[in-house]
Amino acid sequence: MRILPAANSSRPSRGLSGSKAWRVTSKTRQAFTAWMFIAPAGVIIAIFVFWTLFESLKTSFTDDSGFGSANWVGLANYVALLSDPRFLNALANTLVYAAVVVPVSIIVALGLAVLLNRPNLPFRGFFRVAVFLPFVTSLGISSMAWWAMLNPHAGIIPAWFEVFGLSLGNGIQDPALAMLFVMIVGVWRDVGFFMVMYLGGLQSIPKELRESAQIDGASPWKSFWNITWPLLANTTMFVGIMALVFAFQAFDQIYIMTGGGPFFRTETLVLYIFSTAVERYQLGYASAISWVLVLLVFVVSLFQVGYFSKRTVQY
């Protein structure tokens, strides 16, 4: 007959080996040590991310102007957004910007990655650096250069076009074209980063799969569409989410090149938040707009994760 230990016995029973008790206590200790090392970063994130998010959410329910007391107004800021033509215009501009820049960036980045993944391409390293360089350059500074180059009356790019009898019209000052130019700068800036992501993805695909397809007589396009593209689903999901976040945060080049003009034609949500908070000191209202943007990015990202998760293929 074996005497089994009582369920809640505090003494380690004879039935438990000494080494198992040691492992349980040791694991707890290791976990605690790990938490201690994470704690400093956790505290900083808690203060500068979670606390500021919480404060921003709280502010969005007030009429805070940075001066005097901030009074609770409930959902008034959010309700006001629904009938604010400038908010609706900024939202529309942001969605249009994202709808164009995201797919274009992904397609261009993937194309460049496929091209620059060829082992025998001359100056491959140079081209990779050249494409990636805009991403690590200050967008504010490069936007000033773009603004000067695209100036319709003195810019070098319109001048070059005019030599060939082509006209860029009023360029960044033209309400019909201004958004196109800020989109071009947005794509130019981000495509290098996405290309690097895709290069990593391409290099993780086993060569044998493509070689087998080649032996079986598949064309390069069929090989790409049926093997490479599905195996890049994870990378595309990541790139897609990042591209969307970047697009929804578009600010720098728009602020510098057009200031949101002409007459708000290029004003995005982030620019409107900036104008409302920093120029008009309506902190409560600006916080409400910010939270609408957060929810928008969250919902769209969830959709993207769901879409791409179902399309992951493994051979």
Partner 1 sequence: MTAQRRTRRWRVAAIGLAAGLVLPLAACAGPAQQPQASGPTHITFWNWYQGSDGPTVEALVKKFNESQSKVVVDMTIMPKDTMIQKLLPAYASGDGPTLIAVGHEMTTQYITKKVVQPIDDFYGEGKLDKAVLPKATIEATTYDGKIYGAPMSSAPLMLYYNKTLFAKAGIANPPTTLTELAEDAKKITVYKEGENTTNVYGIGQGMFSGIHSWTAYFRNDGGGYVSEDRKTSILDSPENIKILNYWTDLFRNHHISPIGISVPDAQALFAAGRAGMVIDGPWGAGNYAKSGVDFGVAAFPKGSVTQTTMIVGTPILVAAGISDAQREASLEFLKFWNSPESQTTWAVKSGYPPTRSDIPMADLSANPVPEMFTKAVGAESHMRGVVNFQTILDDVVNPAIQKVMNGQGTAEEVLPEASKQLQALLG
Q: Which residues bind partner 1 (CB under 8 A)?
A: 26, 29, 32-33, 36-37, 39-41, 43-44, 66-67, 151-155, 158-159, 162, 165-170, 173-175, 259, 261-264, 275, 278-281
Asked whether 102 and 236 are in contact (CB, 8 A), the reply is: no
Q: Which is nearer to partner 1, 59 or 105 (CB)?
A: 59
CB-nearer residue toward partner 1: 92 or 295: 92
CB closer to partner 1 out of 247 and 254: 254
Q: Taking the complex as a whole, how short is the minimal distance between the CB of residue 175 and partner 1, in angstroms?
A: 5
Between residues 246 and 264, which has the closer beta carbon with respect to partner 1?
264
Q: Which is nearer to partner 1, 93 or 236 (CB)?
A: 93
Nearer to partner 1, 181 or 194 (CB): 181
- Smallest separation (angstroms) from partner 1 to the CB of 122: 36
CB of 8 to partner 1, least distance (A): 27
The least distance separating partner 1 from the CB of residue 87, rounded to whole angstroms, comes to 13
Give min distance, CB of 55 to partner 1, in A: 15
The distance of closest approach from Cβ of residue 116 to partner 1 in the complex, given in angstroms and rounded to an integer, is: 35
